[in-house]
A and B are shown apart, each in its own frame.
Chain A
Amino acid sequence: MADELKTTKPAFKPAAVKPAVRPSTQPETRDEEPETGYTWRDFQSDQDVRWCPGCGDYAILKTVQRVLAEIGRPPHEHVFVSGIGCSSRFPYYVSTYGMHTIHGRATAVATGLKVVRPDLAVWVITGDGDGLSIGGNHMLHILRRNVDVQILLFNNQIYGLTKGQFSPTSEFGKITKSSPYGSADWPVNPAAFALGAGATFIARGMDRDPNHLATVIRRAYEHRGAAFVEIYQNCNVFNDGAFFVFTEKETKPQAALFVEHGKPMVFGANRDKGIRLDGLKPVVVDLTDGKWSVDDLLVHDETDETIAFLLTRMFDDPRHLELPRPFGVIRAVQRPTFDEVMRQQIERTIEARGPGDLRTLLFSGETWTVM
């Protein structure tokens, strides 16, 4: 099995990328106490965490707990709703309210909850299988409706809980137990899917960069509307190294483009490369050969539909990367949220008609009296 697994790894996976110390158990994060009076430990539940040792989920959990402490809302005001899969065990491990629902439906459960309880911070924890395969339909609809929740999609490009079948984000031709001759499925591009669905907030982060991930999650929390955050997460048991080209320091500078609103798109080990628009096509330019300067580069604008389109489309196969993969907040725009519109309709109808009276309702229409 080990041999089989190797064939699924990126062709140019850097050697010796596995840190000696598992990032999952000891993520390199600033651990100072936030000023809110909460620490990440206040968001730790009493349950034993049962992911495989070394799983990227540990780092994400810790990052979320940290962000929750920074946000400073009391734990009882947060609800984590998940579906089924490794990542969906997440709610058991945070000391807030939580619901571990059924496969693919966390987004729908969260919609019902948020509509009736706008006072709560509702988080959806899902994975590539849960959120884009069995739950793809509900993902489409929660995004287009713009329900005010944070959706953290842990993408590990594999089915972990069922022990290693290809997922809708697995690369074409992936060899797994259920695809010994290579999968015939073309992978979905999660960010482009979200954009197509009309998402008002799209971001990408990675388990191995907790500080960056924390900023992205914080932004997602602050966004009013459905915030879609794709998180690259290493499944070290069934799909080890799927994202190493983006996450490990040997290749990360060339492979990952960290975008920031209002800043030119620069990347590279010495920040020596940039993205320029050549007609309608983004291309990589060298900032050292004197031909191009930072002023020629594309400047990120989170509110610009076209830039969102270009960035989500920068989705080259990591084995043949021409354009780097963008990370950070790709899109953030405002649109009325579903829950808010639903409530407004109720409040406005009450304003216009007065609160409903049961007796009047029962006795409405054509009635007659029998003595």
Chain B
Amino acid sequence: MARSDVRIVELPEVTVRIAGDSGDGMQLTGSQFTSVTALVGNDLSTLPDFPAEIRAPAGTTYGVSAFQIRFASSDILTPGDECDALVAMNPAALKTNIARLRKGGILIVNEDAFTERDLQLAGYTGNPLEDGSLSEYELYRVPITRLTQEALAELKLPFKVVERSKNMFALGLLLWLYDRPMDYTIRWLEQRFAKQPDILEANLRALRAGYHYGDTVEAFSTRYRVAPAKLPPGTYRNITGNQATALGLIAASQRAGLELFYGSYPITPASDVLHELAKYKHFRVFTFQAEDEIAAVTAVIGAAYGGKLAVTGTSGPGLALKTEAIGLGVMLELPLVILDIQRAGPSTGMPTKTEQADLLQAMFGRNGEAPVPIVAPATPGECFWMVLEACRIALKYMTPVFFLSDGYLANGSEPWRIPEPEELPDLRVRFATEPNANGRFLPYKRDPDTLARPWALPGTPGLMHRIGGLEKQHETGNVSYDPDNHDFMVRLRAEKIQRIAEDIPPAELEGDPEARLLVVGWGSTYGAIKTAVQRLRQKGYKVAQVHLRYLNPFPKNLGEILTRFERILVPEINLGQLVRLLRDRYLVPAEGYNRVRGLPFTAAELEARMQDILTEGNGHPEGN
């Protein structure tokens, strides 16, 4: 029985953050809320934020796990800087997340968790619920633990099960607050716990209790509604970067007509790609969980030699270990794709936090002159398209290719328009079957256009040849220590990679072409940069933006674009890596905007920096 006194307010967009102990199921709650939100048709963007510890001691600030979702009735690009609502399941969650809640925002706390002990664990000296420190927020003290216990009382379940159902109460309340239906979640729970009727019943009761709490208790006077977004026509699903990457690899394998061999060693935040791919054996996907990073990449080299679509995935520390083998890949000129889901470094760094600091490692991190193409997706959904591109380039140019994603793209999600298989590039390859030089087979005789060498598979009669990491003679591939040959081959391998520039889309200029300031970014910063640029343009400033998906080689028109602008700002979550490459290559006075906090940029900080540049001298928007 819905209350008649509840007001419904329409909003263009909302950002919600839920935070609790890492054992409280916050990620699950968040992703379920996300699924419902996607199904009601909002555009959305999510940011999971979890600790490295699997189960840090309960109640501590370093054990807090959070999930943020922004959803809107229009196109959005980031999971939001500030939140409109925060759910804090305990004092530690409140302490670590309150700074993200905007003044006047909705704050829902599990009041039962604010015991003296929990407050102490979180490092509070007093009780923030009592001392007025939260007066700037719309505070709702909800006894979530007690109400969940009451709702489950008849079931006589162990305490642990009751404890674990709290998150469904919170989810129920959020679904009510934002006017989303419960039936989808009910169906999902029924599937998930089909074999555990007790747990199913506990979750359903907690969910309904949370929903009805909003409906019946007079604490809440307003519900919020966000209308569906007007996305381009098509069928959509919500997708994380790592899921999109895995799907992209399967799609590439299908479009190439090659079995996929994925060799990987578990590492955060890349492991999900391995987990995902391991499910798809019926697509003839081999997943090889190797004994270490080196075995993962070298087994992949073996599979590439055997004629398969060969891919290895890792994160920064793992990439460091793969370095030598990637150099071998360069020398062998075999197609392989290396996924680097970047995380905060150096060394072990902050495994669950995002960073863009492996660009130079991908670019230069090998002995000798060993150029490797690099592509980088800008959004979670784009991971699908860019990994297909990585495969296309690898297969066509017979080379290792880097795919640089990061923790933020990997775990973040967005609605993704699903393509029809026919929309995908045709990646079919031609293996060598015949001798290519007067009855002889020369393994390094190249295609005159792409400079790619032929891919001759072991098992092919008449094409027996030996390849290896030693320098080879031009065309024959025989071992050669000849000085001039070495110089020639080093240049030839570099030239092959440079020629890829002929085969990739030009850089696209967004915003005002006649602006004074150009903002150049790459990877996951796209949403924040674009949002900042949009806001400034709405304020009347002129700003232009280029976002690079191809980092080696650069698009052919990039130099020409860069020289048209007086100021070039390059925001990166590192201490200035792309900016170095741009300055070096184009001799332009590009400047960096760099923060390495393990977090994505906020649009607000970028907007402020851009506005500073634009108002230097006069304090007014140009052209006004």
Structural contact, B291 and A141, CB atoms closer than 8 A: yes
Structural contact, A109 and B298, CB atoms closer than 8 A: yes
Q: Give every chain B residue within 8 A of A163 (Cβ-Cβ).
A: none
- A312 near B: Cβ within 8 Å? no
- Output the nearest chain A residue to B243 by Cβ-Cβ distance: A365
Within 8 A of B (CB), among A65-85: 74-77, 79, 81, 84
Query: Given A97-B466, A99-B305, A113-B302, are A79 and B235 also a contact pair (CB < 8 Å)?
Result: no
A68 to B421, CA, bound (A): 46
Chain-A contact segment, one of B34-42, B109-117, B528-536:
B34-42
Among A99, A361, A371, max chain B CB count under 10 A is at A99
A358 to B248, CA, bound (A): 10
Structural contact, B302 and A362, CB atoms closer than 8 A: no
- A345 near B: Cβ within 8 Å? yes
- A269 near B: Cβ within 8 Å? no
Structural contact, B310 and A112, CB atoms closer than 8 A: yes
- A181 near B: Cβ within 8 Å? no
CB distance from A5 to the nearest CB of B (A): 28
CB distance from A334 to the nearest CB of B (A): 23
Structural contact, B294 and A120, CB atoms closer than 8 A: no
A92 to B472, CA, bound (A): 12
Structural contact, A74 and B283, CB atoms closer than 8 A: no
A369 to B236, CA, bound (A): 6
Structural contact, A81 and B302, CB atoms closer than 8 A: yes
A87 to B328, CA, bound (A): 19
Structural contact, B250 and A100, CB atoms closer than 8 A: no
Structural contact, B259 and A363, CB atoms closer than 8 A: no
Structural contact, A117 and B261, CB atoms closer than 8 A: no
Residue of B35, B41, B307, B420 touching A370 (CB-CB under 8 A): B41
Structural contact, B35 and A366, CB atoms closer than 8 A: yes
Structural contact, A370 and B231, CB atoms closer than 8 A: yes
For chain B, the count of residues having a C-beta within 8 Å of the partner chain is: 70
Q: Give every chain A residue within 8 A of B418 (Cβ-Cβ).
A: 362-363, 367
Structural contact, A108 and B421, CB atoms closer than 8 A: no
- A119 near B: Cβ within 8 Å? yes
For chain A, the count of residues having a C-beta within 8 Å of the partner chain is: 59
A74 to B459, CA, bound (A): 9
Structural contact, B282 and A355, CB atoms closer than 8 A: yes
Query: Given A91-B468, A108-B302, A116-B306, are A76 and B233 also a contact pair (CB < 8 Å)?
Result: no
- A25 near B: Cβ within 8 Å? no
Q: Give every chain B residue within 8 A of A8 (Cβ-Cβ).
A: none
Within 8 A of B (CB), among A112-147: 112-117, 119-120, 137-138, 140-141
A102 to B331, CA, bound (A): 11
Structural contact, A345 and B281, CB atoms closer than 8 A: yes
- B280 near A: Cβ within 8 Å? yes
Chain-B contact segment, one of A233-241, A254-262, A272-280, A346-354:
A346-354
- A17 near B: Cβ within 8 Å? no
A206 to B436, CA, bound (A): 41
Within 8 A of A (CB), among B399-437: 418-421
CB distance from A196 to the nearest CB of B (A): 15
- Output the nearest chain B residue to A145 by Cβ-Cβ distance: B291
Structural contact, A120 and B292, CB atoms closer than 8 A: no
Structural contact, A115 and B251, CB atoms closer than 8 A: no
Structural contact, A369 and B234, CB atoms closer than 8 A: yes
CB distance from B344 to the nearest CB of A (A): 27
- Output the nearest chain A residue to B41 by Cβ-Cβ distance: A368
Residue of B263, B295, B479 touching A141 (CB-CB under 8 A): B295
- A293 near B: Cβ within 8 Å? no
CB distance from B143 to the nearest CB of A (A): 32
A358 to B257, CA, bound (A): 12
A77 to B418, CA, bound (A): 42
- B478 near A: Cβ within 8 Å? yes
Query: Given A101-B298, A358-B251, A369-B236, are A112 and B459 also a contact pair (CB < 8 Å)?
Result: no
Chain B 18-43 interface 0/1 with A at a Cβ cutoff of 8 Å (1 = within): 00000000000000000100110100
- A47 near B: Cβ within 8 Å? yes
Structural contact, A137 and B39, CB atoms closer than 8 A: no
Structural contact, A119 and B459, CB atoms closer than 8 A: yes
A109 to B235, CA, bound (A): 41
Within 8 A of A (CB), among B275-320: 280-286, 288, 290-292, 294-295, 298-308, 310
A102 to B328, CA, bound (A): 7
A352 to B412, CA, bound (A): 33
A358 to B251, CA, bound (A): 7
Structural contact, B282 and A108, CB atoms closer than 8 A: no
Query: Given A137-B291, A363-B235, A367-B237, are A116 and B41 also a contact pair (CB < 8 Å)?
Result: no
CB distance from A42 to the nearest CB of B (A): 11
Residue of A75, A108, A359, A368 touching B236 (CB-CB under 8 A): A368
Query: Given A100-B469, A112-B300, A371-B233, are A105 and B306 also a contact pair (CB < 8 Å)?
Result: no
- A168 near B: Cβ within 8 Å? no
- B339 near A: Cβ within 8 Å? no
Task: Other than A91-B466, A120-B458, give 10 A-B pairs with Cβ distance below 8 A.
Answer: A79-B458, A102-B298, A109-B299, A113-B302, A349-B281, A356-B254, A363-B235, A366-B238, A368-B236, A369-B236
13 contacts between A and B (CB under 8 A): A76-B464, A79-B458, A95-B464, A112-B298, A116-B303, A117-B307, A355-B284, A361-B280, A364-B237, A366-B39, A366-B237, A368-B41, A370-B233
Question: Which residues of B approach A to under 8 Å, CB–CB?
Answer: 35, 38-39, 41, 184, 230-238, 247, 250-251, 254, 259, 261, 263, 280-286, 288, 290-292, 294-295, 298-308, 310, 324-325, 328, 332, 418-421, 457-470, 478-479
Which 3 pairs of residues, A with B, have the shortest CB-CB distance?
A: A100-B468, A112-B302, A112-B299
